[in-house]
Structure formats: structure tokens, C-alpha cells
């Protein structure tokens, strides 16, 4: 993941807490699993040891990814948002021009996305299609299920 990663202060704090947990408790648990597996005999034929080492590699990769996300994070405050066009942290009300259904989404970072809460990632197909649009404009979105066309009805913080 490269470039700037826009997040809220709360999300940045959550990411830092998760990183601390992974580096402390997570590493200790994996070290314990490797130690226990090592005690069970020949390492060449020890599937438990191989699994523990693989888990360690995945754990370290997750730490590296999280460290990169934190290093590239830029905190965005609600007061800094320009509501004249769709941008990150904006709540945008759109109408699907095919079925005339209206829905409101908040555009957030990948880390914060939760469709059940109406939060979609700015890197999702719909998020990308809406970015930079103004009220009254139409957005063409290429989604996995085909082309969609939305009209921007309202933008708020």
C-alpha cells in the first residue's frame, strides 16, 4: 500500500493499539507456540513446528502492513472537509438512476469501511466514482455486477 492513507484520529488510535498488541502479546504467543513445537522432537517432520513458523511469518507481515499504514496515515478532521464536492469523510446522498433508490454513504479509508454502517471505502468502485463530484452531477461506476449510474443529491460532513 503506497501513498497517503487518510483516516480519522479514532482509527489511527485503533491502528496504533492493534500494532502494540501484535508486537507484545501476539509475538509472545507465537514464540510460545514455536517453543512448544520445538520440544516435540525432530523439526524436519514436525508439522506443528512448521505451522507455528508459518503463523509467525504471517504475523510479522501483518505487523509490517500495519506499520506502513500508520506511517502513511494522515488524520482528517471533519472541520477541514470541503463539502462543495465529494471527498473522504463526506456523507453523500445519491440516487441510483436505474431503480430510483436513494442511499447515503460516508466515504472513509479502507480500514474504516463498514457497509452495514453505511461507510464505504474511497478505493471501492462506488467510492472512486463519487470522489470529486458535485451536487447535481452524475457518476458512472463500473462495479463487479455491471455499470451503475448515480446522481449526487446532497453532500454533508
Q: Give the CATH number of the domain where residue 14 resides.
A: 1.10.287.180
Residue that terminates a domain, selected from 39, 55, 75: 75
Give residue-wise pLDDT tens across range 8-35: 888 889 999 999 999 999 999 999 988 8
Range of the domain at 66: 5-75
* pTM score of the predicted model: 0.66
Give the pLDDT score at 108: 87
Task: Looking at the structure, tell me whether residues 94 and 141 fall in a common domain.
Answer: yes
Supply the mean pLDDT for the chain.
88
Task: Looking at the structure, tell me whether residues 63 and 131 fall in a common domain.
Answer: no
**Structural domains counted in the chain:** 2
Q: How confident is the model at residue 49 (pLDDT cuts 50, 70, 90)?
A: confident
More confident residue, 88 or 59: 59
What does DSSP assign to residue 157?
-
User: What CATH number is given to the structural domain containing 84?
Assistant: 3.10.50.30
Is the Cβ–Cβ distance between 97 and 36 less than 8 Å?
no
Task: Looking at the structure, tell me whether residues 105 and 141 fall in a common domain.
Answer: yes
Residue that terminates a domain, selected from 25, 49, 75: 75
Task: Looking at the structure, tell me whether residues 71 and 88 fall in a common domain.
Answer: no
- Residue 41's region, left for phi above 0, alpha for psi from -120 to 50, else beta, is left
Mean pLDDT of 87-103: 91
Amino acid at each position: 500500500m503506497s501513498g497517503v492513507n487518510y483516516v480519522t484520529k479514532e482509527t489511527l488510535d485503533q491502528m496504533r493499539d492493534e500494532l502494540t498488541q501484535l508486537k507484545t502479546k501476539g509475538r509472545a504467543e507465537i514464540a510460545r507456540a514455536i517453543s512448544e513445537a520445538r520440544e516435540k522432537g525432530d523439526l524436519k517432520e514436525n508439522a506443528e513446528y512448521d505451522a507455528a513458523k508459518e503463523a509467525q511469518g504471517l504475523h510479522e507481515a501483518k505487523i509490517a502492513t500495519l506499520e506502513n499504514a500508520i506511517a502513511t496515515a494522515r488524520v482528517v478532521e471533519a472541520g477541514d472537509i470541503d463539502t462543495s464536492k465529494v471527498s473522504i469523510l463526506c456523507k453523500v446522498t445519491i440516487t441510483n438512476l436505474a431503480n430510483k433508490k436513494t442511499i447515503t454513504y460516508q466515504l472513509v479509508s479502507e480500514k474504516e469501511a463498514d457497509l452495514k454502517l453505511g461507510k464505504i471505502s474511497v478505493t471501492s468502485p462506488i467510492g472512486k466514482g463519487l470522489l470529486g463530484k458535485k451536487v447535481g452531477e452524475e457518476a458512472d461506476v463500473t462495479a463487479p455486477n455491471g455499470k451503475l449510474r448515480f446522481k449526487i443529491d446532497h453532500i454533508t460532513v
